[in-house]
Copies of this chain bind each other. A is one copy, B any other.
Amino acid sequence: MLDIGLLGSGGGMPMPNRYLSSILIRYNGRKILVDCGEGTQVSMRLLGWGFKTIDIICITHSHGDHIIGLPGLLATIGNSGRTESLNIIGPKGIEYVVDGLRRVVPYLPYDINIIENPKQLTNIIGDMDIETLELDHSTPCIGYSFYVNRKPEFKVEKAIKNKVPKEIWKKLQDGEIINYSGKEYKPDMVLGSKRKGIKLSYITDTRPVDKIPEFIYESDLFICEGTYGNENDLDKAIRNKHMTFSEAAKLAKNGYVKKLLLTHFSPSIEDPNIYKVNAKNIFLNTIIGKDRLVETLNFTE
């Protein structure tokens, strides 16, 4: 089970009624934060999921509305009693920016590992994999997908049929190959067929990129920027390297995702719901983000 809290749904500037886009992912008692604009820690406090167990902070790009809250959050995580090291993932150049921001919080009670532009990180929290995709914004920017692998089902009847000794069932179930009493046993001797995991993808800020549909393919939840709701703002979207609601919906449709959650609304949009139809006409299962909306994703097979 994966819980996703949308900490904010705005882009550009933090507003009194709309914090900046970021999400907090809760899985197996640990947490991943994606983006950290000014005010993110205030929204986190309202959500109430805690600070100490954030193991990874993924940054899409170094524009202020996605990263200015980082030094304050790092200090707050320090005050929460964390001593374990913390990973910060971001696009090329992220280390230079983080080093600059850290001039206001030079001393922290834990180490920070910075990982620039990784393509794939496996088993980063338990059995979760993270992949990234280079996007098309006015500064280096990456999208993220999070995949929770699901173990195949343990089949007792298969284990018995294959005469697998009970003593090694657990290890085979965990994926190990075991030599026992002179014979080799493999996991597929006790396990059922591969099962679909949980996939979450997060794309902001960018123009539509050809590779996105493949990257987000069959996501259970696709969180995507929709900076502009009005179709007449397409020229602004092109100029500022953002997307309209309908462009995001086309990606959702072409990526065969289950659900689209729009976020990163321009401060010029008072109520994004009035443009919801522009997305739903293309991709029906679209929801409009609002601060501290929580989605829970479960295994489906």
Contacts and interface: CB of A to CB of B under 8 A. Distances in A.
B62 A42 contact: no
A103 to B, nearest CB: 4
A72 interface: yes
Contacts of A69: 38, 68
Contact of A76 (B13, B46, B96, B105): B13
A223 interface: no
Contacts of A52: none
A192 B78 CA distance: 59
B104 A103 contact: no
A100 interface: yes
A206 interface: no
Interface string A66-86: 011101100110010000000
Contacts of A15: 42, 45
A13 B79 contact: yes
A197 interface: no
A68 B62 contact: no
A14 interface: yes
A5 to B, nearest CB: 15
Contacts of A12: 79
A46 B100 contact: no
Given A16-B46, A68-B71, A100-B103, 5 more contacts: A12-B79, A13-B72, A14-B39, A38-B38, A39-B39
A-B pairs, 3 with minimum CB distance: A100-B103, A100-B100, A64-B104
